[in-house]
C-alpha cells in the first residue's frame, strides 16, 4: 500500500499510519489507535493479537519491564488496524506505569475505540523483584458458542 493514494470516501481514507513511515509516539496518550470496518460484523469470531516483547518502564525505578501480552476480541462493527496497534503498544516503552495499569489501560483504550462485542487481555509480566505479576481482564461473559483457545502462555517457572 506504500505510495498508493487512498480514494476519498473509501473505508480506509482516514487511516494515517498504514502504508506510510510512522514515528513511534512519545507516549500512549499521543498514540493514534485506528480502526477499520469489520467486513463480517454479524459473525461471531475471535481475533487475537500477541505481543511477546511488550516493554514499559517501572514508574519508580525507571527500569524496563517486559511482558507477553495476548489480546483476544470479538469484533463488532470495527477491527483494530494492526500497524496502529503496534505503534500504540510500542509507545509504552518510555512510559512509566505499573503492570496492572499498563494492562488495563491497553484494554480500556481498545474497548473505547473498537466497541467490541467482547474483549479479554492477558498480561504475562516477567519477574520484577523476583516475582512475576500476571494481569487478566475481560469485558464480561464471552458470546455464546465462541471458541476461545487457551492463550498459550505457560506460567512463569523460573529455572524450575
Catalytic residues: 58, 65
Q: In the chain, at which residue ranges do the beta strands (DSSP E only) sit?
A: 35-37, 47-57, 64-74, 78-80, 118-125, 134-138
The answer to whether 37 touches 70, Cβ cutoff 8 Å, is: no
The count of C-alpha atoms lying within 13 angstroms of the C-alpha of 148, restricted to the half-sphere facing its C-beta, is 17
- Quick one: DSSP state of residue 91? G
> Which helix (H) or strand (E) is 114 found in, with range?
helix 99-114
The answer to whether 116 touches 76, Cβ cutoff 8 Å, is: yes
| Residue appearing with cell numbers 482516514 | 14
How many angstroms separate the Cα of 57 from the Cα of each of 34, 47, 90, 139? 24, 28, 12, 26
Amino acid at each position: 500500500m506504500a505510495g498508493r493514494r487512498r480514494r476519498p470516501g473509501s473505508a480506509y481514507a482516514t487511516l494515517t499510519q498504514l502504508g506510510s513511515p510512522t514515528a513511534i509516539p512519545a507516549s500512549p496518550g499521543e498514540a493514534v489507535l485506528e480502526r477499520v470496518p469489520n467486513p463480517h460484523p454479524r459473525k461471531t469470531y475471535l481475533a487475537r493479537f500477541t505481543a511477546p516483547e511488550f516493554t514499559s518502564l517501572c514508574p519508580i525505578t525507571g527500569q524496563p519491564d517486559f511482558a507477553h501480552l495476548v489480546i483476544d476480541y470479538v469484533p463488532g462493527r470495527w477491527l483494530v488496524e494492526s500497524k496502529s496497534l503496534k505503534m500504540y503498544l510500542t509507545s509504552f516503552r518510555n512510559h512509566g506505569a505499573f503492570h496492572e495499569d499498563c494492562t488495563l489501560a491497553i484494554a480500556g483504550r481498545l474497548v473505547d475505540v473498537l466497541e467490541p462485542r467482547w474483549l479479554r487481555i492477558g498480561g504475562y509480566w516477567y519477574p520484577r523483584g523476583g516475582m512475576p505479576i500476571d494481569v487478566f481482564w475481560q469485558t464480561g461473559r464471552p458470546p455464546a458458542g465462541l471458541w476461545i483457545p487457551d492463550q498459550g502462555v505457560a506460567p512463569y517457572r523460573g529455572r524450575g
